[in-house]
Amino acid sequence: MFGEVFICQFPFTSGAGSKHRPALVLFDLPQDAIICRVTSVLRGGPLDIVLTDWQAAGLQRPSVPRLDRIVTAERTILGRRPGILSPGDLDAIRRAWNQHMRL
């Protein structure tokens, strides 16, 4: 599931509500998935990865997965799957994660 884009009710970080939006699967767990928010608002932080092949991923406009906006969610909230990231975009996600998210 890594790299698949789904439409879901992505929860706000405050815990108060959610928004219907694309989400990128980062990790596939038995009953859950770790997902990050995908947005068309470009802010340019080190954990915002500009997708070069956003149309191939089924997105409607240029988009950015935000690796600093992640949640663990039940797989049941994942709705329609418009697409999957291209190999180049998947590599960019992996490189950014490995560079910035070390424990």
Q: What residues contact residue 46 under an 8 Å CB cut-off, 6+ apart?
A: 96, 100
User: What is the domain extent for residue 23?
Assistant: 4-100
CA 50, chain centre distance (Å): 11
Locate 89 and state its tokens. 């975009």
Domain count, the chain: 1
Average pLDDT in the 71-77 region?
91
Per-residue pLDDT for 53 more than 80? yes
Looking at per-residue pLDDT, the higher value among 102 and 6 belongs to 6
Least Cα distance to 11 among 23, 2, 3, 1 occurs for 23
The Cα 2–Cα 24 span in angstroms is 8
Q: In which band, very low, low, confident or very high, does the pLDDT at 103 lie, cut at 50, 70 and 90?
A: low
* Confidence at residue 80, expressed as pLDDT on a 0 to 100 scale: 95
Q: In which band, very low, low, confident or very high, does the pLDDT at 35 lie, cut at 50, 70 and 90?
A: very high
Average pLDDT in the 30-47 region?
92
Angle at 39 between CA 81 and CA 28, to 5 degrees: 45
* CATH code of 65's domain: 2.30.30.110
